[in-house]
A and B are shown apart, each in its own frame.
Chain A
């Protein structure tokens, strides 16, 4: 993989160490947001969306968003707020051998709860199958659906979305 400006998707190496991407230890404890926003662009709705003050952008608004790993509870309010659809929430230990991801999805058809879907990496490659736990289409998300899907823990870091239906 050659990186964000060649492949279009960020590599794990480019993400690790950026202020919005949780460290490996915290990532595996409880639920937490992953903010894959690593370029300085003028944008800060994530900061305003978080009710716990766990995301800081400050001034100038081109600062990279900083995630406070202790304050973040993985409530996922920031997921729909991000105009770049760059945020998702993960829980490593969702249940026996399974992780959970809550990711933004703006395509039709939406999956139904309980449906088995293919989950994909940052390059659109299918990694594994998973089950849709919930599809949040509340009005406050302004037409960005949040899909909850469980999937095998071994794919924890690489799954970021599902293959479109």
Chain B
């Protein structure tokens, strides 16, 4: 399912030449260099990014601007990453987060 808008009456046509590979729950996904993680997921038709701790309720993007934290996922082992304001990177591993997530050993260290 492709939700990308490749032709637009105002924004014009677009051809994506700079693509990156990301992994979402182990599945390889093609993303566009520089786009936000949430954008890549929505483009692939993925709307559920995490499940809440208490009620295991599905959540996705809400404010889209980095303020509400509804869109957080675990990225490269680091939980609670706001996917609507974090750009994709080659080889990024993104996981649907359950509750508050778990820190992977060494995640986030430089």
CB A107 to nearest CB in B, in angstroms, measures 6
Interface of B is mostly: loop
CA gap between A143 and B10 in the complex, in Å? 6
Is B8 an interface position by the 8 A CB rule? yes
Interface of A is mostly: loop
Is A108 an interface position by the 8 A CB rule? yes
* Interface bits A60-77 vs B (CB < 8 Å: 1, else 0): 000000000000000000
Is B9 an interface position by the 8 A CB rule? yes
In the A-B complex, list the 4 residue pairs whose CB atoms are closest, starting with the nearest: A108-B9, A106-B9, A143-B10, A108-B7
Query: Which residues of A sit under 8 angstroms from B10, Cβ to Cβ?
Result: 106, 143
Q: Which of A99-147 contact B (CB under 8 A)?
A: 106-108, 110, 143, 145
CA gap between A110 and B9 in the complex, in Å? 9
CB B10 to nearest CB in A, in angstroms, measures 5
Q: Which of chain B's residues has its CB closest to A108's CB? A: B9
CA gap between A19 and B11 in the complex, in Å? 34
CB B7 to nearest CB in A, in angstroms, measures 5
Query: Which residues of B sit under 8 angstroms from A106, Cβ to Cβ?
Result: 9-10
CA gap between A107 and B8 in the complex, in Å? 8
Query: Which residues of A sit under 8 angstroms from B9, Cβ to Cβ?
Result: 106-108, 110, 143, 145
Q: Which of chain B's residues has its CB closest to A106's CB? A: B9
Q: Which of A30-68 contact B (CB under 8 A)?
A: none
Query: Which residues of B sit under 8 angstroms from A145, Cβ to Cβ?
Result: 9
CA gap between A145 and B9 in the complex, in Å? 9
Q: Which of chain B's residues has its CB closest to A107's CB? A: B9
List 10 A-B residue pairs with CB atoms under 8 Å apart, sorted by A's residue number. A106-B9, A106-B10, A107-B9, A108-B7, A108-B8, A108-B9, A110-B9, A143-B9, A143-B10, A145-B9
CB A121 to nearest CB in B, in angstroms, measures 22
CA gap between A108 and B8 in the complex, in Å? 7
Query: Which residues of B sit under 8 angstroms from A107, Cβ to Cβ?
Result: 9
**Extra contacts besides A108-B7, A110-B9, A143-B9 (7): CB < 8 Å:** A106-B9, A106-B10, A107-B9, A108-B8, A108-B9, A143-B10, A145-B9
CA gap between A106 and B7 in the complex, in Å? 12
CA gap between A71 and B22 in the complex, in Å? 62
Q: Which of B8-47 contact A (CB under 8 A)?
A: 8-10
Query: Which residues of A sit under 8 angstroms from B8, Cβ to Cβ?
Result: 108
CB A85 to nearest CB in B, in angstroms, measures 12
CA gap between A108 and B11 in the complex, in Å? 11
